[in-house]
Amino acid sequence: MRRIQNLTARKCETIKEPGYYADGQNLYLQVSKALSKSWLFIYKFQGRKHEVGLGGYPDISLAVARDGAARWRKVLIAGDNPIEIKREQEYKKHCSRIDNPTFAQCANKFIESHQAGWKNPKHAQQWKNTLDHYVLPIIGNLQVKQIDTGLVMRVLEPIWLEKNETASRLRGRIENILDWASVHKYRQGDNPARWRGHLDKLLSSPNKIQRIKHFKALPYHEMNGLLLALRSNSSISAMALEFLILTAARTGEVIGSQWNEIDFNQKIWIIPAERMKVKKEHRVPIASRTLEILSNVKQLKVNDYIFPGRTRNGGLSNAAMDKLLQVTLNYDATVHGFRSTFRDWASEITNFPHEMCEMALAHSIKNQAEAAYRRGDMIEKRRVMMEAWLTYIETKPCKVK
C-alpha cells in the first residue's frame, strides 16, 4: 500500500537538497537548485504527465497544499484535465480584469493617454503623486464601476477644509478618470465626482474656503537695488533672473529657453507655441542689456539651453531663481511676481497702451472679436517699451519725503 502524507512541516522546513519530494496523492514539494520551494500537483492524463502549480512554500503551508491537491484530484476523478481547467479559470479571471478594471488601472491609462498633450512634463508626475497619496489607498483597488458618491466623499472630506486647493484638484482628476471609464464602457450612470448639481450640495464652495493668494511682487521703485545686487552676483541664476525681469517672461519660458530661439540679427527671442501658456508663438524684443546677458552667458555654453543647470544636458532648475532671490539676496518676493511689478510700472507711471502691455506679458485676449482682428504683435513699439523699462530700473530712484 502506497504511503500518503510522507512530509511533515518540520521536514518541509529543513530539506536542503534540490529535487522532488512526494507527500502522496499526487502532491510534491519541489526544491530548486537555489533552494526555493514550491508545491506541485503531478498527474497523468491520457498517458501524458502534467504539473499544476499550487504556490510557493512557506507562503503556502503543507496543510493548504494538501487541500489544493485534493481539489484537483476530484477534477481528475471526474474525468477532466486539471491543467486545462486551470488555464480556463485564469483566462476568465484575466477577462474579468480587462472588462472590470480597478480605479488605479483606469487612472494609469488616463494619464498615459493624456500626458502628451499636457504643457508641463511635470504635470503627469503631479497627477500620480496626488492620486498615490490621497486617492489610491482608499479606492485604488476597487473596480471603477463600484465608485459611488460615498467613496468619493471618503477621499475628499478629510482634506476639503484643510487642503482645499489640493482637494479641489483631486475632485477634478477623479471626475476626469471616471468620465474616461464611462466612455470606455467600464461604468455607467452619472459621475459621482461631478461638482455642479451634485458635490456642491455636500461640500462647501472652494471660493468660500480658499483665500486668494497673489504672487508676492517687489514694488517697482525697489527694482534698482535688486538690479545692483543681481549684477554683483555672477551666477547663472542671477543672469537668468535679470533676463526674466527685462523680458517680463515666465519662469518656465526662461529656464526652458534654447539658443536656437534667439534671432541675433533681428534682436528677437522667439518662444515656440508649445512652450507658451496660451499655445501661441510669442516674440520678445531683446533690449540692449538683455543682449549683453546673452553674450556673457554664451561664453559659458555647455548645451542647448541658454541658462544651463547642473546636469550635463539640462536647463536651470525651476527653483533656482526663487532660491537666489529669497535665500541668497533675502528679498521677500517671488520670481513670478516680477511680471506684476512690470505691469504696475507700465500702468502707473507710463503712457504705454494697455494692449501693448498685455502683449508683452503674452496674455490671451478675452474679447473674441478683438482676437479675431488682431494680426500684429507691436514688436517694434514693444522694443521701445522694454528699453524704457530697462532705463527705469537702472536709474536710482529719488528719495521721497
**Is 400 or 111 the better-scoring residue by pLDDT?**
111
CA distance linking residue 217 with residue 208, whole number of Å: 25
Cross-strand partners of 38: 30, 56
Class of the CATH-defined domain 103-209? mainly alpha
Q: Quickly state the pLDDT bin for 3 (edges 50, 70, 90).
A: low
Is the pLDDT confidence value at 363 over 90? no
At 373, is the secondary structure helix, strand, or coil? helix
For 340-361, what is each residue's pLDDT tens digit? Answer: 999 999 999 999 998 899 999 9
Domain spans, the chain? 9-99, 103-209, 220-394
Other CB atoms within a 10 A radius of the CB of residue 307 amount to 23
| pLDDT value at residue 95 | 58
Q: Are 145 and 96 a contacting pair, CB within 8 Å?
A: no
CA distance linking residue 216 with residue 332, whole number of Å: 8
The residue type at 65? A
Is the pLDDT confidence value at 375 over 80? no
Other CB atoms within a 10 A radius of the CB of residue 37 amount to 19
Q: Which CATH number fits domain 220-394: 1.10.10.10, 3.40.190.10, 3.60.15.10, 1.10.443.10?
A: 1.10.443.10
Whether the model pTM is above 0.75: no
**Pairing relation of β-strands 37-45 and 27-31?**
antiparallel
Using left for φ > 0, alpha for ψ between -120 and 50, and beta otherwise, residue 25 falls in left
For 99-150, what is each residue's pLDDT tens digit? Answer: 688 999 999 999 998 888 776 667 888 898 899 999 999 999 999 999 999 9
Q: Are 245 and 393 a contacting pair, CB within 8 Å?
A: yes
HSE, CB side, 13 Å, CA atoms: give it for residue 218. Answer: 22
| pLDDT value at residue 7 | 86
CA distance linking residue 240 with residue 393, whole number of Å: 16
Q: How many residues in the chain?
A: 401
Q: Which CATH number fits domain 9-99: 3.40.980.20, 3.40.50.2020, 3.30.160.390, 3.10.180.10?
A: 3.30.160.390
Segment among 2-11, 35-44, 55-64, 125-134 with least mean pLDDT: 2-11
**Is 87 or 259 the better-scoring residue by pLDDT?**
259
For 46-102, what is each residue's pLDDT tens digit? Answer: 888 999 999 999 899 999 999 999 999 999 998 899 989 888 887 666 655 556 889
Is the pLDDT confidence value at 191 over 50? yes
